[in-house]
Amino acid sequence: MTTLFIGLGKMGDPMVRRYAPGRDVLLYDVDAAASATLAAAVGGRALAGLEELPAGIRTVILMLPNSRIVESVVVALLAQLEPGALVIDMGSSEPASTQRLAAQAASAGIAFVDAPVSGGVAKASIGELSIMVGGLAADRERAMEHLAPLGTRITVVGPSGSGHAAKALNNLLSATNLAAAAEIFTVARSFGIHAAVMLDVVNSSTGRSQATEVKYAKHVLNGTFDSGFSLDLMLKDVAIAQALGAGMSTPITDTTVGVLAEARRVLGDPVPSDHTVPLDHTEVVRYVEVVNQVELRSEMKE
Maximum distance among all Cα pairs of the chain, rounded to whole angstroms:
66
**Range(s) for CATH 1.10.1040.10 in the chain?**
165-301
Measured between alpha carbons, how far is 182 from 140 in angstroms, rounded to an integer?
Answer: 39
The pLDDT score that the predictor gives to residue 302 is: 46
pLDDT at position 276 is 57
Please tell me which residue in 167, 218, 236, 301 is annotated as part of the active site.
167
Q: Residue 1's pLDDT is what?
A: 85
Catalytic: 301? no
What are 86-120's pLDDT values in tens digits?
Answer: 999 999 999 999 999 999 999 999 999 999 999 99
What is the rounded distance in angstroms from the CA atom of residue 168 to the CA atom of residue 150? 20
- Calculate the average pLDDT of the chain: 94
Q: Length of the chain, please?
A: 302
Alpha carbon distances (Å) from 144 to 84, 118, 124, 190, 191? 16, 16, 16, 50, 51
Identify the CATH number of the domain defined by range 2-158. Answer: 3.40.50.720
* pLDDT, tens digit, 9 for 90 and up, residues 280-301: 999 999 999 999 999 887 555 4
Average pLDDT of 256-273? Answer: 83
Q: What is the pLDDT of residue 301?
A: 47
Pick the CATH number of 165-301 from 3.40.50.300, 1.10.1040.10, 1.10.3720.10, 3.40.1360.10: 1.10.1040.10
The arithmetic mean of pLDDT across residues 179-200, rounded, is: 95
pTM: 0.91
Q: How far apart are CA 297 and CA 195, in angstroms?
A: 8
Pairing of strands 117-118, 129-134: antiparallel
- Ranges of CATH 3.40.50.720 domains, the chain: 2-158
Whether 272 shows a pLDDT value over 80: the answer reads: no
Residues 6+ apart with CB under 8 A from 81: 53, 57, 60, 87, 108, 110
* Contact (Cβ atoms closer than 8 angstroms) between residue 285 and residue 178: yes
